Protein backbone atom coordinates (compact mmCIF):
# COMPACT_ATOMS: atom_id res chain seq x y z
CA UNK A 1 0.00 0.00 0.00
CA UNK A 2 2.77 2.44 0.85
CA UNK A 3 4.13 1.88 -2.66
CA UNK A 4 0.96 3.43 -4.12
CA UNK A 5 1.04 6.30 -1.68
CA UNK A 6 4.10 7.68 -3.46
CA UNK A 7 2.13 8.28 -6.66
CA UNK A 8 -0.67 10.16 -4.93
CA UNK A 9 -0.99 13.94 -5.14
CA UNK A 10 0.25 15.83 -2.10
CA UNK A 11 -2.42 16.31 0.56
CA UNK A 12 -4.26 19.60 0.78
CA UNK A 13 -3.65 20.49 -2.86
CA UNK A 14 -5.88 20.85 -5.90
CA UNK A 15 -4.90 17.52 -7.45
CA UNK A 16 -5.86 15.68 -4.26
CA UNK A 17 -9.20 17.49 -4.23
CA UNK A 18 -9.87 16.45 -7.85
CA UNK A 19 -9.05 12.84 -6.98
CA UNK A 20 -11.40 13.11 -3.99
CA UNK A 21 -14.10 14.41 -6.29
CA UNK A 22 -13.70 11.36 -8.51
CA UNK A 23 -13.89 8.96 -5.53
CA UNK A 24 -16.97 10.72 -4.22
CA UNK A 25 -18.54 10.74 -7.69
CA UNK A 26 -18.13 6.95 -7.90
CA UNK A 27 -19.75 6.44 -4.48
CA UNK A 28 -22.57 8.86 -5.33
CA UNK A 29 -23.22 7.27 -8.74
CA UNK A 30 -23.18 3.78 -7.21
CA UNK A 31 -25.60 4.79 -4.42
CA UNK A 32 -28.13 6.41 -6.75
CA UNK A 33 -27.93 3.54 -9.27
CA UNK A 34 -28.21 0.68 -6.75
CA UNK A 35 -30.80 2.17 -4.39
CA UNK A 36 -32.73 4.16 -7.03
CA UNK A 37 -32.87 7.13 -4.67
CA UNK A 38 -35.68 9.60 -5.34
CA UNK A 39 -34.54 12.66 -7.26
CA UNK A 40 -35.59 15.00 -4.45
CA UNK A 41 -33.29 13.22 -1.97
CA UNK A 42 -30.32 12.30 -4.13
CA UNK A 43 -30.48 12.87 -7.89
CA UNK A 44 -28.06 10.88 -10.06
CA UNK A 45 -24.87 12.56 -11.33
CA UNK A 46 -26.20 12.75 -14.94
CA UNK A 47 -29.34 14.54 -13.67
CA UNK A 48 -27.18 17.09 -11.83
CA UNK A 49 -25.01 17.51 -14.93
CA UNK A 50 -28.16 18.16 -17.00
CA UNK A 51 -29.35 20.78 -14.47
CA UNK A 52 -25.92 22.40 -14.56
CA UNK A 53 -25.70 22.59 -18.37
CA UNK A 54 -29.30 23.82 -18.65
CA UNK A 55 -28.65 26.64 -16.17
CA UNK A 56 -25.42 27.51 -17.96
CA UNK A 57 -27.10 27.51 -21.38
CA UNK A 58 -29.95 29.72 -20.13
CA UNK A 59 -27.39 32.23 -18.86
CA UNK A 60 -28.76 32.18 -15.29
CA UNK A 61 -25.68 30.47 -13.91
CA UNK A 62 -23.39 33.08 -15.46
CA UNK A 63 -25.36 35.88 -13.81
CA UNK A 64 -25.23 34.16 -10.41
CA UNK A 65 -21.49 33.45 -10.60
CA UNK A 66 -20.75 37.00 -11.75
CA UNK A 67 -22.90 38.53 -8.98
CA UNK A 68 -21.17 36.46 -6.30
CA UNK A 69 -17.70 37.24 -7.67
CA UNK A 70 -18.37 41.00 -7.78
CA UNK A 71 -19.53 40.91 -4.14
CA UNK A 72 -16.46 38.87 -3.23
CA UNK A 73 -14.09 41.27 -4.99
CA UNK A 74 -15.32 44.45 -3.30
CA UNK A 75 -15.78 42.85 0.11
CA UNK A 76 -12.32 41.27 0.03
CA UNK A 77 -10.71 44.50 -1.20
CA UNK A 78 -12.30 46.66 1.49
CA UNK A 79 -11.81 44.11 4.29
CA UNK A 80 -8.16 43.32 3.56
CA UNK A 81 -7.20 46.97 2.97
CA UNK A 82 -8.65 48.01 6.32
CA UNK A 83 -7.23 44.87 7.95
CA UNK A 84 -3.70 45.54 6.67
CA UNK A 85 -3.87 49.16 7.82
CA UNK A 86 -5.19 48.16 11.26
CA UNK A 87 -2.60 45.42 11.62
CA UNK A 88 0.25 47.81 10.82
CA UNK A 89 -1.12 50.40 13.24
CA UNK A 90 -1.51 47.78 15.99
CA UNK A 91 2.06 46.60 15.60
CA UNK A 92 3.89 49.89 14.91
CA UNK A 93 2.26 52.45 17.19
CA UNK A 94 1.65 51.92 20.88
CA UNK A 95 -0.94 54.67 21.07
CA UNK A 96 -2.85 53.31 18.08
CA UNK A 97 -2.64 49.81 19.56
CA UNK A 98 -4.03 50.96 22.89
CA UNK A 99 -6.90 52.64 21.07
CA UNK A 100 -7.65 49.94 18.47
CA UNK A 101 -7.06 46.79 20.54
CA UNK A 102 -10.17 47.03 22.76
CA UNK A 103 -12.29 47.75 19.67
CA UNK A 104 -10.88 44.85 17.64
CA UNK A 105 -11.00 42.45 20.59
CA UNK A 106 -14.67 43.27 21.26
CA UNK A 107 -15.96 43.33 17.72
CA UNK A 108 -14.25 40.14 16.62
CA UNK A 109 -16.71 38.23 18.79
CA UNK A 110 -19.67 39.76 16.96
CA UNK A 111 -20.21 37.22 14.20
CA UNK A 112 -20.44 38.55 10.64
CA UNK A 113 -23.29 36.16 9.88
CA UNK A 114 -25.33 37.40 12.84
CA UNK A 115 -25.49 40.83 11.16
CA UNK A 116 -27.09 39.60 7.95
CA UNK A 117 -30.70 40.39 9.01
CA UNK A 118 -29.59 43.82 10.23
CA UNK A 119 -27.90 44.56 6.91
CA UNK A 120 -31.03 43.49 5.03
CA UNK A 121 -32.99 46.07 7.02
CA UNK A 122 -30.33 48.72 6.42
CA UNK A 123 -29.39 48.10 2.79
CA UNK A 124 -32.22 45.94 1.44
CA UNK A 125 -31.18 43.53 -1.28
CA UNK A 126 -28.42 45.81 -2.61
CA UNK A 127 -24.78 44.80 -2.90
CA UNK A 128 -23.73 47.06 0.01
CA UNK A 129 -24.92 44.65 2.68
CA UNK A 130 -23.01 41.76 1.11
CA UNK A 131 -19.85 43.83 0.77
CA UNK A 132 -20.17 44.73 4.45
CA UNK A 133 -20.46 41.09 5.59
CA UNK A 134 -17.56 39.93 3.43
CA UNK A 135 -15.34 42.85 4.45
CA UNK A 136 -16.17 42.30 8.12
CA UNK A 137 -15.41 38.57 7.85
CA UNK A 138 -11.97 39.22 6.25
CA UNK A 139 -11.00 42.20 8.37
CA UNK A 140 -10.17 40.53 11.69
CA UNK A 141 -8.11 37.62 10.41
CA UNK A 142 -6.03 39.98 8.22
CA UNK A 143 -5.61 42.56 11.00
CA UNK A 144 -4.58 40.00 13.64
CA UNK A 145 -2.18 38.12 11.33
CA UNK A 146 -0.59 41.33 10.03
CA UNK A 147 -0.10 42.68 13.55
CA UNK A 148 1.43 39.41 14.77
CA UNK A 149 3.64 39.15 11.68
CA UNK A 150 5.05 42.65 12.10
CA UNK A 151 5.42 42.34 15.88
CA UNK A 152 7.41 39.13 15.39
CA UNK A 153 9.92 40.73 13.02
CA UNK A 154 13.46 39.80 14.01
CA UNK A 155 14.73 42.79 16.03
CA UNK A 156 18.20 42.19 14.62
CA UNK A 157 16.93 42.97 11.10
CA UNK A 158 15.40 46.20 12.40
CA UNK A 159 18.62 47.21 14.14
CA UNK A 160 20.66 46.48 11.03
CA UNK A 161 18.23 48.47 8.86
CA UNK A 162 18.30 51.43 11.25
CA UNK A 163 22.08 51.34 11.31
CA UNK A 164 22.02 51.45 7.51
CA UNK A 165 19.90 54.60 7.68
CA UNK A 166 16.39 53.29 7.12
CA UNK A 167 13.61 54.95 9.08
CA UNK A 168 9.91 55.82 9.02
CA UNK A 169 7.96 54.90 5.91
CA UNK A 170 11.02 53.57 4.09
CA UNK A 171 11.77 51.18 6.96
CA UNK A 172 8.17 49.97 6.96
CA UNK A 173 7.90 49.43 3.21
CA UNK A 174 11.38 48.13 2.42
CA UNK A 175 12.24 46.11 5.55
CA UNK A 176 9.34 45.42 7.93
CA UNK A 177 6.69 44.43 5.39
CA UNK A 178 8.90 42.10 3.32
CA UNK A 179 10.00 40.36 6.53
CA UNK A 180 6.38 39.97 7.64
CA UNK A 181 5.10 38.95 4.20
CA UNK A 182 4.86 35.17 4.70
CA UNK A 183 2.55 35.46 7.68
CA UNK A 184 0.55 38.29 6.10
CA UNK A 185 -0.05 36.06 3.09
CA UNK A 186 -1.18 33.28 5.42
CA UNK A 187 -3.78 35.70 6.74
CA UNK A 188 -4.87 36.53 3.19
CA UNK A 189 -5.18 32.82 2.35
CA UNK A 190 -7.53 32.32 5.28
CA UNK A 191 -9.34 35.56 4.44
CA UNK A 192 -10.15 34.57 0.85
CA UNK A 193 -11.74 31.34 2.12
CA UNK A 194 -13.75 33.26 4.76
CA UNK A 195 -14.77 35.80 2.14
CA UNK A 196 -16.11 33.19 -0.26
CA UNK A 197 -18.15 31.47 2.48
CA UNK A 198 -19.52 34.83 3.58
CA UNK A 199 -20.65 35.69 0.06
CA UNK A 200 -22.69 32.49 -0.11
CA UNK A 201 -24.10 32.86 3.41
CA UNK A 202 -24.98 36.54 2.90
CA UNK A 203 -26.91 35.65 -0.25
CA UNK A 204 -29.16 33.17 1.59
CA UNK A 205 -31.47 35.96 2.71
CA UNK A 206 -32.28 39.28 1.09
CA UNK A 207 -30.64 38.66 -2.27
CA UNK A 208 -31.92 38.60 -5.84
CA UNK A 209 -29.02 36.85 -7.55
CA UNK A 210 -25.84 34.96 -6.71
CA UNK A 211 -24.94 31.34 -5.99
CA UNK A 212 -26.21 31.39 -2.39
CA UNK A 213 -29.53 32.80 -3.57
CA UNK A 214 -29.63 30.22 -6.35
CA UNK A 215 -29.26 27.17 -4.09
CA UNK A 216 -31.76 28.35 -1.44
CA UNK A 217 -34.20 29.19 -4.22
CA UNK A 218 -33.76 25.73 -5.74
CA UNK A 219 -34.23 24.19 -2.27
CA UNK A 220 -37.57 25.98 -1.84
CA UNK A 221 -38.65 24.49 -5.19
CA UNK A 222 -37.41 21.01 -4.14
CA UNK A 223 -34.97 21.03 -7.08
CA UNK A 224 -32.22 19.01 -5.44
CA UNK A 225 -30.37 18.60 -8.76
CA UNK A 226 -29.92 22.37 -8.96
CA UNK A 227 -28.88 22.58 -5.28
CA UNK A 228 -26.10 20.04 -5.80
CA UNK A 229 -25.08 21.63 -9.11
CA UNK A 230 -24.78 24.95 -7.28
CA UNK A 231 -22.70 23.37 -4.51
CA UNK A 232 -20.31 21.92 -7.09
CA UNK A 233 -19.91 25.35 -8.70
CA UNK A 234 -19.32 26.91 -5.25
CA UNK A 235 -16.64 24.31 -4.57
CA UNK A 236 -15.01 24.81 -7.96
CA UNK A 237 -14.85 28.60 -7.57
CA UNK A 238 -13.48 28.15 -4.04
CA UNK A 239 -10.78 25.84 -5.41
CA UNK A 240 -9.77 28.35 -8.11
CA UNK A 241 -9.66 31.21 -5.59
CA UNK A 242 -7.48 29.35 -3.10
CA UNK A 243 -5.17 28.20 -5.91
CA UNK A 244 -4.86 31.81 -7.08
CA UNK A 245 -3.80 33.00 -3.62
CA UNK A 246 -1.45 30.02 -3.27
CA UNK A 247 0.11 30.96 -6.62
CA UNK A 248 0.51 34.54 -5.44
CA UNK A 249 2.24 33.17 -2.37
CA UNK A 250 4.64 31.05 -4.44
CA UNK A 251 5.46 34.05 -6.65
CA UNK A 252 5.92 36.45 -3.73
CA UNK A 253 7.87 34.14 -1.43
CA UNK A 254 9.29 31.26 -3.48
CA UNK A 255 11.62 30.40 -0.58
CA UNK A 256 8.80 29.24 1.69
CA UNK A 257 6.25 26.60 0.80
CA UNK A 258 3.14 25.81 2.76
CA UNK A 259 2.84 22.31 4.18
CA UNK A 260 -0.02 19.89 3.60
CA UNK A 261 -1.61 17.74 6.27
Contact between 118 and another protein per CB under 8 A: yes
Residue choice 171, 205, 248, 253 for contact with another protein (CB under 8 A): 205
Residue choice 171, 177, 179, 201 for contact with another protein (CB under 8 A): 201
User: What are the DSSP calls for the chain, one per residue?
Assistant: -HHHHTTSPPTTSHHHHHHHHHHHHHHHHHHHHHH---TTT---HHHHHHHHHHHHHHTHHHHHHHHHHHHHHHHHHHHHHHHHHHHHHHHH-HHHHHHHHHHHHHHTTS-GGGGHHHHHHHHTTSHHHHHHHHHHHHHHHHHHHHHHHHHTS-HHHHHHHHHTT--HHHHIIIIIHHHHHHHHHHHHHHHHHHHHHHHHHHTSSS-SSSHHHHHHHHHHTT-HHHHHHHHHHHHHHHHHHHHHHHHHHHHH-TT------
Contact between 244 and another protein per CB under 8 A: no
Q: How far is the CB of 39 from another protein (least distance, A)?
A: 11
Contact flags string 41-80 toward another protein, x per CB under 8 A: x---------------------------------------
Contact flags string 86-115 toward another protein, x per CB under 8 A: ----xx--xx-xxxxxxx--x--xxxxxxx
Stretch that binds another protein, among 54-62, 74-82, 166-174, 208-216 (CB under 8 A): 208-216
Instruction: Specify the residue, 164 or 194, whose C-beta has the smaller distance to another protein.
Output: 194
Contact between 222 and another protein per CB under 8 A: yes
Contact between 231 and another protein per CB under 8 A: yes
Contact between 154 and another protein per CB under 8 A: no
Residue choice 134, 135, 218, 246 for contact with another protein (CB under 8 A): 218
Q: Are 196 and 237 in contact (CB under 8 A)?
A: yes
Instruction: Specify the residue, 124 or 254, whose C-beta has the smaller distance to another protein.
Output: 124
Contact between 247 and another protein per CB under 8 A: no
Amino acid sequence: MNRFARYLPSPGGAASAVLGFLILLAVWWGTSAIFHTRAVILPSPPAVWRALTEMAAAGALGVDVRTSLVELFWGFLVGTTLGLATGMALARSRAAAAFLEPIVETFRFILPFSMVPLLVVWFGTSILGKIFVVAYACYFVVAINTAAAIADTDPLILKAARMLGYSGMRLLLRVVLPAALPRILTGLQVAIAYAWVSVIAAEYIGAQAGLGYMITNAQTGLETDKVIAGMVVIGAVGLVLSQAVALLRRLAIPYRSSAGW
